[in-house]
């Protein structure tokens, strides 16, 4: 008897343990209940409005039979739904349908921000906090086929904030295979440049790789002109393309030709990428960019950039790699210069503590010929970054990283610690 009781006791302890383990799961539905309550409140409000509207209509139609027709013309999109017989048991809820319908324009605003701290052992450097970029993103469908996207950045400068229109795009979608847009873009010559834009929260690391640094000149970050993009019918290979024609770089190489072209020569860019269906998460592709640069009046250089990327966007692991070669040819002397840059970044979202931790490592490299007269601001670079990202919530993260890099030939290595809290709102 005592052995039976003992086994029952052990069993009950095990059961209570299981039940205790399941307790956190029962807490999960809280947000759903909250959202349902909010929805019920909205629906009740809506029903009230509809009842008021119905009462009003009944009163008006009693006085004038013509006003109902006027009401119908005010809401042509919902007529198809309203005309369905109300007695039908499967008749869609008009309130829900009306709420779900697209309204044009339908502006959505999202913001990104970050606050940073840095300290390095570089001679003359000053450690301390700085406010990263404050970014506002606008997306607004203007019709079923036309959409607008905009991105504004506010960057702290010693005297004031610098406001920049980073992107301003109006796009017409013909179908999945052809979408044409006009405006200012991030040049699709680099994966990073078009994947993370100015949203520090979106990228795993504190900073962008040096080859795609904002304000840098290795590749043209921005592009003003027109762009066609879409899918290429390719079955499971999942091919896509981008083709653009624009102003190219301005006389300040880090800037795009927002206010006009620096010379009477258009730049063009073309990229092709693949997202194979059977290897969900994989993307690889290449791009070509051609431009004529006029950094100083009377000095012209042809620029040809070729790049390739291979990424695995899932986080178990995440793998990002890019390579770019920038070829310059002096139109006057026919001298040519080739510069190369690449980075490899590896990260892994750890399965513990609700997947909040994500350690990462990045190696990056830049080489340019010392004699290249275009890349006066570009330095050779060999550097490693190791760090960790901790997602505080679904919309905010802490990042901390250590960097060891050598910038310039025969220069001493620089060590630094960088911390960032990045968020979206």
Residues that bind other proteins in the complex, under the rule CB under 8 A = 4-5, 8, 11-12, 15, 28-29, 31-32, 35-36, 39, 80-81, 90, 92-93, 96-97, 100-102, 106, 108, 110, 137, 139-141, 144-145, 147, 149, 167, 169, 171, 173-176, 181, 194-197, 199, 202, 231, 236, 238, 275, 277-278, 280-281, 314-315, 355, 391, 394-395, 424
Give min distance, CB of 281 to other proteins, in A: 8
CB-nearer residue toward other proteins: 167 or 255: 167
Question: Nearer to other proteins by C-beta: 33 or 69?
Answer: 33
- Report the residue number, 10 or 156, with the smaller CB distance to other proteins: 10
Q: Would you say 40 and 34 are in contact if contact means Cβ atoms under 8 Å apart?
A: no
Task: Tell the burial category of 114 from Cβ atoms under 10 Å away from its Cβ (0-12, 13-18, 19+).
Answer: buried
Shortest distance, CB of residue 176 to other proteins, whole angstroms? 5
Q: Are 254 and 235 in contact (CB under 8 A)?
A: no
Indicate the residue among 138 and 419 with the shorter CB distance to other proteins: 138
Least distance from other proteins to the Cβ atom of residue 395, Å = 8
Q: Which one, 9 or 376, has the nearer CB to other proteins?
A: 9
- Which lies closer to other proteins via its Cβ, residue 244 or residue 383? 244
- Give exposure, 4-26, as e/b (b: 16+ Cβ within 10 Å): eeeeeeeeeeeeeeeeeeeeeee
Identify whether the C-beta of residue 346 lies closer than 8 Å to the C-beta of residue 317: yes
Burial of 190 (0-12, 13-18, 19+ CB in 10 A): buried
Least distance to other proteins, CB of residue 320, Å: 14
Structure tokens at 225: 């002109």
**Chain centre distance of CA 377:** 27
Nearer to other proteins, 35 or 125 (CB): 35
Parallel, antiparallel, or unpaired: how do β-strands 336-347 and 318-330 relate? antiparallel
Beta strand pairing call for 222-232 and 134-141: unpaired
CB of 243 closer than 8 Å to CB of 269: yes
CB closer to other proteins, 204 vs 217: 204
Q: Least separation, in Å, of the C-beta of 362 and other proteins?
A: 19
H or E, element range at 210: none
Phi, psi of 2 (to 5 degrees): -65, -35
Q: State CA 115 to chain mean position distance.
A: 19
CB of 290 to other proteins, least distance (A): 24
Rounded distance, CA 209 to CA 345, Å? 9
Q: How far apart are the C-alpha atoms of 320 and 392, rounded to whole Å?
A: 23
Q: How far is the CB of 339 from other proteins (least distance, A)?
A: 27
* In the complex, least distance from residue 190 CB atom to other proteins, rounded to whole angstroms: 13
Q: Are 322 and 342 in contact (CB under 8 A)?
A: yes
Q: 250 or 283, CB closer to other proteins? A: 283
Q: Least distance in Å: CB of 208 to other proteins? A: 15
């Amino acid at each position: 008897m005592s052995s039976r009781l003992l086994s029952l006791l052990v069993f009950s302890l095990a059961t209570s343990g299981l039940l205790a383990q399941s307790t956190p799961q029962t807490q999960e539905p809280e947000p759903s209940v909250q959202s349902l309550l909010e929805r019920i409140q909205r629906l009740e409000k809506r029903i009230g409005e509809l009842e008021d509207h119905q009462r009003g209509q009944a009163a008006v139609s009693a006085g004038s039979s013509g006003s109902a027709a006027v009401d119908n013309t005010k809401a042509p999109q919902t007529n198809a739904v309203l005309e369905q017989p109300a007695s039908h048991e499967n008749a869609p809820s008009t309130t829900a349908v009306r709420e779900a319908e697209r309204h044009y324009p339908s502006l959505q605003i999202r913001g990104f921000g970050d606050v940073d701290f840095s300290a390095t052992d570089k001679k003359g450097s000053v450690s301390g906090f700085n406010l990263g970029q404050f970014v506002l993103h606008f997306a607004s469908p203007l019709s079923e086929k036309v959409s607008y996207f905009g991105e504004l950045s506010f960057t702290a400068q010693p005297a004031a904030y610098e406001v920049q229109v980073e992107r301003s795009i109006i796009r017409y979608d013909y179908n999945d295979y052809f979408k044409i847009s006009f405006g200012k873009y991030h040049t699709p010559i680099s994966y990073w440049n078009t994947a993370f834009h100015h949203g520090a929260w979106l990228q795993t690391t504190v900073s962008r790789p040096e080859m795609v640094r904002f304000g840098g000149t290795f590749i043209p970050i921005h592009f003003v002109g027109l762009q066609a993009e879409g899918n290429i019918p390719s079955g499971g290979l999942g091919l896509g393309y981008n083709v653009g024609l624009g102003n190219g770089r301005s006389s300040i190489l880090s800037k795009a030709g927002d206010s006009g072209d620096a010379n009477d020569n258009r730049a063009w860019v073309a990229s092709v990428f693949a997202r194979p269906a059977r290897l969900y998460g994989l993307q690889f592709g290449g791009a070509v960019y051609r431009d004529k640069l006029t950094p100083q009046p009377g000095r012209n250089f042809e620029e040809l950039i070729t790049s390739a990327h291979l990424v695995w966007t899932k986080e178990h692991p995440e793998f990002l790699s890019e390579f770019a070669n920038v070829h310059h040819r002096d139109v006057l002397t026919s001298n040519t210069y080739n510069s190369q840059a690449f980075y490899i970044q590896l990260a892994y979202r750890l399965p513990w503590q609700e997947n909040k931790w994500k350690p990462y490592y990045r190696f990056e490299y830049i080489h340019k010929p010392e004699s290249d007269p275009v890349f006066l601001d570009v330095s050779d670079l060999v550097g490693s970054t190791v760090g960790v990202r901790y997602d505080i919530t679904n919309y905010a993260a802490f990042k901390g990283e250590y960097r060891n890099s050598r910038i310039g030939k025969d220069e001493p290595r620089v060590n630094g610690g960088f911390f960032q809290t990045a968020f979206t709102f």
